[in-house]
Structure 1
Amino acid sequence: MIGESEASATGTTIVRATDVDHAAQYLATALTLEGIRGLRGRALLLHAAAIAFDDGRVIGFVGPSGRGKTTASRALAQAAGYVTDETLAVLPDLSVIPYPKPLSVLSGPPPKRSIDPAGLGMQSLPDSPLRLGALALLERRPDIVEAYVENVELSEAIGLIVPETSSLIAMPRPLGDLVDVIQRTGGVRRVIYSEAGQLPALLPELLALATPPREDVEVVTPVAAESPRQDGIYRRAPFHDAVRIGQRLAIHDGERVVILDGLGPELWESADGASRADLVARVTRLDPPPEGVDAGAEVERRLIALAEAGLLIRD
């Protein structure tokens, strides 16, 4: 056994390891998991690096494991305060809970080594209260000569950020709460770069980037009452919440987020005790098909796809 951590019956976390480096790695993981459990349902927990400016504004850089968050933190925190390289916790009022743990760096064979941020010249946190000012997606491309920043459409941003969250399902409105944070911080940016050393120069642009046009958003919450079961009737499969974004719809069913467009949003929202004929009539009335297009066949095709995706149930 190289190492492990486990929770005892008393709630104490016990870490066992064969050497100091493995112990440090397992301890860091155990502390992170414990912190996530304590904030479950209270904070938006993102797999992100983050830095803070003197006025307390925080930029979070979201990315999956292996995307370079720790390396990005090391470079960014030469210019701003180090908040975290792993888990960014954002409360409903946008205040940020810092987690400036030692950096886990793989400089040879496993395990990773824990390095004191101060020893790397990384700046400490400012005295100002921390508040999320911007969210960015990290995208490293080796062929990029000059790093740049771009805006990301809300529906695309949701699909990319949800997999990089912890315990999102425990939030009162998983998608609604995430969208609220995104909109209140001016939308999501994408940072395209090749080397972490290019990132500090982009910080002013990330905070000053013009806020994209606010997209029409409507949160759809589950209704407790169910329609009576009838043969040939469609109804929505259980879901936690959904968000209508312009002509698109993002649905969170507890395990995944599915983005619908075209006829999908209208069919899904209308399939609450509706028959195929009802749905064809509704879609045809709202959006008459082009000449020569069989509305019934098109609706049937989309209904089959929604059912196969587990989003609709046909009794």
Structure 2
Amino acid sequence: MTSSADGSATPGEQVRRLDVPGGPVDVVLGRGLAEVAEELTVLWSHLLIEAGTPGAAGEATVLRYATAADSSAKSLGPRDPGACYKISGDVTRAVLRALVGQRILLHAGTVLLEGAGTTVLLGASGAGKSTAATVLGREGLYLSDELTIVDPADLAITAYPKPVSRVQRGRTKQDVALAELGLRTAPGAGPADTVVLLDRDPEAAEPSLTRVGLAEAVAVVAGQSSSLWRLPDPLGVIARMLTGAGGALRARYREATELAGLLADLPDRCPQPWETVDPDGTADPAGTGAPHRPAPGLTAAPFVQALRSEDATVVLQEGRTGTLTGLAELVWDLVREQGPIDPANLEALVVAEAGDHDRSADLVQAALEQVRSAGLLQEG
């Protein structure tokens, strides 16, 4: 991958410049890939930048492909049914690289719906985001099927209306043009009005839509993000997004066609109080190489930020999140604020804060194990 003013096409190559978030991307296709170029033109027609139009000149990220891989090009089979799907994946990764540390990058689809408004659809890989975005997008406007881009300053969403990726014959993933699916696009949207955690269960008795506790929702959203820790106030931004939407919703459904009916009757908004906790600066929270002096005893592992709600505490580290509940929250607070702590003294400190119990020793050990299992403890 390189940067270029024009795609640096050589004789026999074809260039397709795509207008995507983070800056234009030139897809350069070598000899023998004419059919792939034709298919790509159809799939990305709504984002193609034609020569002589604004954005046609200037720097672009270049993705180069050839029928045989070399030092400057990836290999693509001229009759590979998944060729354009592979290119789409590379384009998405280019968008991610361009925007990491500047935007919240969620593995989520987004659609605009009458009533539900700007609706973000979150789910792990294979959860049905593309199908849900397609089915709901036909009811309104389509922004993306699997990458939602959020501005941390005002929570506005930038559209990335890539072709929809679907499993086709033989279980090969292929891209499908938006026009073929009956989808109309929007250039962007304001903050999320509705955030849905997809929970498809073909065996579910009845579809349902319920509010999710803030801590659980923050942990899910953080887990479906890219490099969230590289943003300032990362969990605070996620909490603002969720609170602005009235709290996240869990949709349990059998088929995506049931989602529109669920979203037509939203549960009451359920705002929850929250606060963030930031490192005190003595550790190296984001793995930046800052001085860190391990000491004997129990201390908190480096972290980026924590979010505390009435249900639980979510702690963000570089590349992972941990969730603490009950007494484990107090244990983490103690090792974070007073560490290093001699393990022999931990029970007394907990009892001083929470009161005595006839099973104090067992309860403190269970809480300590929860902190340890979450990767939030250092033992010197």
TM-score with structure 2 setting the length: 0.72
Contact preservation (8 Å) 1:221, 1:240: yes
1:211 aligns with 2:269: yes
Instruction: Kindly state the Cα deviation for residue 167 of structure 1 after the two structures are TM-superposed.
Output: 1.9
Alignment match of 2:64 (pick from 14, 27, 38): 14
1:280 aligns with 347
CA distance 1:197–1:310, shift in 2 (3 Å): closer
Which secondary structure does the structure 1 equivalent of 2:193 belong to? strand
Higher relative contact order (CA 8 A, sep 6+): 1
Contact preservation (8 Å) 2:122, 2:221: yes
Deviations 1:203-257 (A, max 9, x none): 3324xx3111x323121111123698654x3211111111111252111121321
1:223 aligns with 2:280: yes
Alignment of 1:160-171 (within 5 A): 160-171=220-231
Instruction: Kindly state the Cα deviation for residue 59 of structure 1 after the two structures are TM-superposed.
Output: 0.1
Which secondary structure does the structure 2 equivalent of 1:61 belong to? strand
1:108 aligns with 2:169: yes
Alignment of 1:225-244 (within 5 A): 225=282, 231=296, 233-244=297-308
Alignment gaps of 5+ in structure 2: 5-60, 66-74, 284-291
RMSD over aligned Cα atoms: 2.6
1:179 aligns with 239
What is the identity percentage for the equivalent residue pairs of Structure 1 and Structure 2? 27
Deviations 1:181-207 (A, max 9, x none): 11122110011111111112223324x
Alignment match of 1:95 (pick from 156, 160, 183): 156
Instruction: Kindly state the Cα deviation for residue 94 of structure 1 after the two structures are TM-superposed.
Output: 1.7
Alignment match of 2:261 (pick from 179, 184, 201): 201
Instruction: Kindly state the Cα deviation for residue 19 of structure 1 after the two structures are TM-superposed.
Output: 2.4
Instruction: Kindly state the Cα deviation for residue 298 of structure 1 after the two structures are TM-superposed.
Output: 3.6
Task: Give the letter for the 2:326 counterpart.
Answer: G
**Structure 2: distance between partners of 1:154 and 1:223:** 24
**Structure 2: distance between partners of 1:111 and 1:260:** 40
Instruction: Kindly state the Cα deviation for residue 12 of structure 1 after the two structures are TM-superposed.
Output: 2.2
1:38 aligns with 2:93: no
Alignment match of 1:49 (pick from 109, 114, 131): 109
**Structure 2: distance between partners of 1:304 and 1:147:** 37
Which secondary structure does the structure 2 equivalent of 1:109 belong to? helix
Instruction: Kindly state the Cα deviation for residue 275 of structure 1 after the two structures are TM-superposed.
Output: 3.3
Alignment match of 2:181 (pick from 110, 120, 130): 120
Contact preservation (8 Å) 1:54, 1:128: no
Alignment match of 2:140 (pick from 80, 97, 114): 80
1:245 aligns with 309
Task: Give the letter for the 1:244 counterpart.
Answer: R
Task: Give the letter for the 1:79 counterpart.
Answer: E
**Structure 2: distance between partners of 1:26 and 1:172:** 32
| Number of equivalenced pairs | 302
Bigger Rg over Cα: 2
Higher mean displacement: 150-159 or 277-286: 277-286
1:262 aligns with 326
Higher mean displacement: 281-290 or 193-202: 281-290
Instruction: Kindly state the Cα deviation for residue 57 of structure 1 after the two structures are TM-superposed.
Output: 3.5
Contact preservation (8 Å) 1:135, 1:187: yes
CA distance 1:312–1:123, shift in 2 (3 Å): same
